[in-house]
Amino acid sequence: MDFSSIDVMALVMEYGPTLLLAIVTLIVGFWIIGWVVNLVSNLMKKNGIDDTIRPFLTSLVSVGLKLMLLLSVAGMFGVETASFIAIFGAMAFAVGMALQGSLGHFASGVMLLIFKPYKVGDLVEVGGGQTGTVEEVAVFNTVLRTLDNKKIIVPNGVVTSNVITNISGQGTAGVELEFGIGYDDDIDKAKSIILQVAKECPYILDDPAPGVVVGSLGESSVNLNTRPFCKSENYWNANFYMLEHVKKAFDKNGISIPFPQVDMHNKN
């Protein structure tokens, strides 16, 4: 037996058990990680975590556990793991600084997906005034479809930093309407006309019953306010029906709707 054979045998005797233990650790560790990831996924599914974010979170857990496992195996061979951890920490910090805005939108998206202030199909007002039907709640942004079929993409950070108004999330919605009549017109007659139009509207619900009140006294008009309720999906239909048919009914019954006018006097 030559010198090189003795060296190989010595290395095998010295590192063989550690190598075998490392292989077993990897096999068992990966099996345990797979079991943990499946358990986490099932728990998130059971608790109603959105399908959009569940795969991302499970992959995040999987990568983190596998990284810890590899560092542990490297430590078995005497590798200094503190330096690896420092390098990974520096890399994570650099990436975090470069993607600061995106990470903020991601964090906001996670909060939206967990707490669900709205869902796909809801009519909402978000981002400081963007109104539309929710088409998608993604990790980084919310996609809205407006009434005129425009697609609005609102970053989730903008959504969570502003007031969120879910117009249709309760199943029914009140349609805020205001009708101005002249000071010389009959208020009670105008009220009965509005209520009659609401009664004939196929989208307005009987319960709760519609009502009409004098909301304000304007410079040139008495403003009547009403808030009839309808099913959420009929919100715009009810709104447009009421506006059109109240105007027609006012015209038919001699109720005026004031508009800005200028009186000119010719002085000779």
What are the C-alpha distances in Å from 114 to residues 137, 156, 170, 209?
A: 11, 13, 18, 36
* Mean pLDDT, residues 185-207: 93
Top-tier CATH class for 172-252: alpha beta
Question: What's the pLDDT band for 52 if we cut at 50, 70, 90?
Answer: low
Instruction: Give the pLDDT of residue 155.
Output: 87
Structure tokens belonging to residue 257: 């709707």
Q: Averaged over 41-51, what is the pLDDT?
A: 73
CA distance 126 to 105: 14
Determine the number of helices (DSSP H) and then strands (DSSP E) in the chain: 7, 10
Structure token pair of residue 143 = 């996609």
Q: Is the pLDDT of residue 233 over 90?
A: no
Residue 97 confidence (pLDDT) above 60: no
Question: Could you read off the pLDDT of 101-154 as tens digits, one per residue?
Answer: 566 767 777 777 777 888 888 888 887 788 888 888 877 788 898 878 888 888
What pLDDT score was predicted for residue 1?
A: 46
Given CATH 3.40.630.30, say whether it is the number of domain 3-98. no
Residue 96 has pLDDT above 60, yes or no: no
CATH code for the structural domain at 119-166: 2.30.30.60
The fraction of the chain above a pLDDT of 90, given in percent, is 22
Give me the residues paired with residue 225 across strands: 178, 213
Q: What is the mean pLDDT of residues 253-259?
A: 85
Whether 222 and 165 have beta carbons less than 8 Å apart is answered as no
- What pLDDT score does 82 carry? 65
Higher per-residue pLDDT: 251 or 110: 251
With a cut of 70, say whether residue 2 has pLDDT above it. Answer: no
More confident residue, 217 or 19: 217
What confidence tens digit (pLDDT) does each residue in 7-33 have? 666 656 666 677 777 788 888 888 988
The gap between the terminal CA atoms of the chain, to the nearest Å, is 133
Q: Where are the domains of the chain?
A: 3-98, 119-166, 172-252
Give me the residue label for tokens 């998608």. 136
| Cα distance between residue 58 and residue 64, in whole Å | 10
pLDDT of residue 99: 47
Output the pLDDT for position 199. Answer: 93
Residue 132 CB contacts under 8 Å (≥ 6 apart), including other chains: 123, 124, 144, 145, 146, 147, 150, 152
CB 187 within 8 A of CB 214: yes
Looking only at the bridges linking them, the beta strands covering 177-181 and 151-155 are unpaired
Q: Does residue 51 carry a pLDDT above 70?
A: no
Number of residues assigned to the chain: 268
Check residue 232 and report its DSSP letter: G
Mean pLDDT across the chain: 80
What share of the chain has pLDDT > 70, as a percent?
76
Residue 221 φ/ψ, nearest 5 degrees: -150, 155
Span 165-191, mean pLDDT? Answer: 88
Phi, psi at 210, each rounded to 5°: -65, 155
DSSP code, position 209? P
The neighbour count for residue 10, using CB atoms within 10 Å, is 10
In angstroms, rounded to a whole number, what is the distance separating the alpha carbons of residues 3 and 104? 61
